[in-house]
């Protein structure tokens, strides 16, 4: 029997997959990224070697993750950074709210951060009467629309230019015929006032540099740089898996991340934040606070096979290449992380029983694994999740019992097998596929008769 989340997923998948306008918008937007990534690959003399190097770096990280995190904490504190550990979402929200209370925060600016979406930061801060303003253009659009990010890298991928123009006209009274450049200019002016008056700035972190105790952030709009430098307090919220050994590794990680994410040689703004401004510095925050979020990542790390998923650098390439994502869209997953990597991680971040259906939302074509810049074996991990979700199923136990022994298989004739097949067919292969009927005699019985004659 399908659980509630699985039923909703099937219903939403059917609805979105048959929405031709939605598919047109998504395919158009993803096609632009596909073309850019293809061009990005050509900038490398040996693209596969570059991927091998980044994968090796993340393999090293996985092999000694606890030690690297402790090294980061020690070095960051030397730089004047306050470092806190958050076991789960509620712990993080509590600790962040305490810092914001100390700063008497009424309004803060926030750059794009999927981990903050993971803990529903904006919704929780609203309960404390704190306004959290998204400053990434795509995040700003979905926040105004009252929606969540649709894609790991491109939050408003599901919206066309006319959709955004209509949204801004409704909320801000702008001309409905504004061009994309004019809408961007409007948002820039709107957000500039927010940057100048915000009490606190919050960013995520693409990489945690352990050796130097630094946070590396890469982006294309300058909003993360402004969020970190203009308010007097800079808060970083980052997952513990984002650590890398040293700043020297950024020269390998950043170009590969940029090539897979947007097709660029390097994103426009790539900054490394060490800590609050020093006595001899004019600019920068007076206080820097870093929150290292676990939120079940340690559970994933303890699984020798599943821990490979923690290598993910959130480039979003696996989503763009996934035929399932292209057809059912980002919201159907009902999770922060969608696409292939989301289908691997979400069942473990949330309740596995309620969300293990996502592990089956894949054609297993292997395109995600092929494009992954850090060689995460996504198809293997999806199958691993499927195995975990199926081992306690009564139907699967019955199938295993029947199929594991030839005598069991030959105990009933083909007509009975066909009746059983028809009864469970939709549950096994879905409504759109059919299994062939069984012959009256099994191959083994026919072969034994042939041998006798």
Per-residue pLDDT tens, the chain, 453 aa: give them. Answer: 468 899 999 999 999 999 999 989 998 999 988 899 899 999 999 999 999 999 999 999 999 999 999 999 999 999 999 999 999 999 999 999 999 999 999 999 999 999 999 999 999 999 999 999 999 999 999 999 999 999 999 999 999 999 999 999 999 999 999 999 999 999 999 999 999 999 999 999 999 999 999 999 999 999 999 999 999 999 999 999 999 999 999 999 999 999 999 999 999 999 999 999 998 988 899 999 999 999 999 999 999 999 999 999 999 999 999 999 999 999 999 999 999 999 999 999 999 999 999 999 999 999 999 999 999 999 999 999 998 887 666 666 776 777 777 777 777 777 887 887 788 777 666 677 788 888 877 788 788 888 887
Tell me if 38 is assigned to some domain.
no
3-state secondary structure of 216: strand
Point out the domain boundary residue: 264, 295, 326.
295
Residue where a domain stops, chosen among 231, 263, 295: 295
Do 245 and 345 lie in one domain? The reply is no
Q: Are residues 87 and 191 in the same domain?
A: yes
Q: Which residues contact 266 (CB under 8 A, 6 or more apart)?
A: 218, 254, 255, 258
| The residue to which tokens 């059912």 are assigned | 328
Output the pLDDT for position 441: 77
Same domain, 265 and 365: no
71 closest CA partner among 56, 58, 61, 59: 61
Same-domain status, 238 and 107: yes
Range of the domain at 448: 394-452
Residues 328-366: tens digit of each pLDDT: 999 999 999 999 999 999 999 999 999 999 999 999 999
| Same-domain check for residues 120 and 235 | yes
Model confidence, pTM: 0.89
Domain identity same for 88 and 205: yes
Residues 363 and 377 in one domain: yes
Convert the pLDDT of each residue in 381-440 to its tens digit: 999 999 888 766 666 677 677 777 777 777 777 788 788 778 877 766 667 778 888 887
- Using a 10 angstrom Cβ sphere, with 0-12 exposed, 13-18 middle and 19 or more buried, the burial of residue 60 is middle
Whether 24 contacts 327, CB under 8 Å: no
Cβ proximity of 112 and 204 under 8 Å: yes
95, 210: one domain? yes
Q: Is residue 278 part of a domain?
A: yes
pLDDT digits (tens, 9 = 90+) for 119-132: 999 999 999 999 99
Please name which of 308, 207, 297 lies closest in space to residue 256, comparing C-alpha atoms: 207
Six-digit token pair at 331? 């919201």
Q: What is the distance between the terminal CA atoms of the chain, rounded to a whole angstrom? A: 47
The encoded tokens of residue 448 equal 């034994």
> Which of 220, 227, 222 has the alpha carbon at shortest distance from 261?
220
Burial status of residue 67 (CB atoms within 10 A of its CB: 0-12, 13-18, 19 or more): exposed
**Does 269 share its domain with 348?**
no
Answer yes or no: is 311 within a domain. no
Q: How far apart are CA 38 and CA 50, in angstroms?
A: 15
With residue 389 as reference, give the H or E element that holds it: helix 378-390
3-state helix, strand, coil in the chain (%, to 5): 55, 10, 30
Q: Is 131 helix (H, G, I), strand (E, B) or coil?
A: strand
Cα–Cα distance between 375 and 312 in angstroms, integer? 9
Question: In this structure, what token pair is assigned to residue 32?
Answer: 């632009």
Q: Is residue 23 part of a domain?
A: no
Let me know whether 247 and 122 are in one domain: yes
Task: Specify the CATH number for the domain of residue 56.
Answer: 3.40.50.10420
Q: Is residue 347 part of a domain?
A: yes
User: Is 18 contained in some domain?
Assistant: no
- Report whether 210 contacts 71 (CB < 8 A): yes
In a domain, 17, yes or no: no
Asked if residue 398 and residue 343 are part of one domain, the reply reads no
Per the CB < 8 A criterion, the answer to whether 137 and 221 are in contact is yes
Out of 389, 407, 434, pick the residue that ends a domain. 389
> Apex CA 17: angle with CA 2 and CA 350, to 5°?
45
Report how many domains make up the chain. Answer: 3
Task: Tell me, yes or no, whether 412 and 383 share the same domain.
Answer: no
- How confident is the model at residue 446, as a pLDDT? 80
Q: Is residue 22 part of a domain?
A: no
């Amino acid at each position: 029997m399908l659980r509630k989340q699985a039923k909703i997923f099937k219903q939403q998948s059917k609805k979105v997959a048959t929405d031709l306008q939605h598919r047109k918008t998504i395919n158009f937007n993803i096609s632009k990224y596909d073309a850019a990534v293809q061009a990005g690959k050509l900038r490398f003399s040996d693209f596969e070697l570059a991927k091998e190097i980044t994968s090796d770096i993340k393999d090293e990280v996985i092999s000694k993750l606890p030690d690297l995190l402790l090294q980061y904490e020690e070095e960051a504190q030397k730089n004047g950074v306050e470092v806190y550990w958050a076991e789960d979402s509620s712990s993080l929200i509590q600790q962040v709210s305490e810092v914001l209370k100390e700063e008497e925060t009424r309004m803060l600016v926030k750059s794009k951060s999927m981990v903050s979406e993971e803990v529903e930061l904006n919704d929780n801060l609203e309960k404390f009467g704190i306004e959290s303003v998204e400053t990434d253009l795509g995040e700003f659009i979905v926040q105004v629309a009252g929606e969540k990010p649709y894609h790991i890298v491109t939050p408003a991928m599901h919206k066309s230019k006319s959709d955004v123009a209509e949204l801004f006209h409704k909320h801000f009274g702008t001309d409905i015929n504004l061009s994309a450049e004019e809408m961007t200019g409007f948002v820039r002016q709107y957000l500039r006032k927010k940057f100048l008056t915000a009490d606190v700035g919050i960013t995520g972190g693409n990489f945690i540099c352990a050796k130097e105790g630094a946070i590396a952030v890469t982006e294309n709009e300058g909003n993360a740089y402004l969020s970190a430098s203009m308010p007097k307090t800079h808060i970083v919220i980052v997952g513990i898996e984002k650590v890398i050994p040293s700043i020297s590794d950024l020269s390998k990680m950043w170009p590969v991340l940029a090539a897979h994410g947007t097709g660029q040689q390097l994103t426009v703004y790539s900054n490394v934040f060490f800590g609050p401004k020093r006595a001899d510095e004019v600019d920068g925050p007076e206080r820097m606070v870093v929150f290292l979020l676990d939120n079940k990542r340690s559970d994933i790390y303890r699984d020798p096979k599943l821990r490979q998923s923690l290598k993910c650098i959130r480039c979003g390439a696996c989503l763009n290449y996934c035929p399932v994502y292209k057809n059912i869209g980002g919201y159907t997953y009902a999770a922060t992380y969608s696409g292939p990597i989301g289908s691997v991680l979400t069942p473990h971040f949330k309740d596995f029983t309620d969300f293990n259906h996502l592990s089956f939302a894949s054609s297993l074509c292997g395109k995600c694994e092929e494009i992954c810049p850090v060689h995460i074996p996504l198809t293997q991990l999806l199958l691993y999740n499927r195995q975990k979700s199926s081992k306690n199923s009564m139907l699967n136990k019955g199938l295993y019992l029947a199929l594991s022994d030839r005598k069991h298989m030959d105990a009933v004739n083909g007509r009975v097998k066909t009746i059983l097949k028809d009864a469970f067919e939709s549950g096994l292969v879905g409504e759109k596929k059919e299994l062939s009927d069984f012959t009256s005699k099994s191959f083994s019985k026919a072969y034994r008769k042939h041998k006798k004659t």
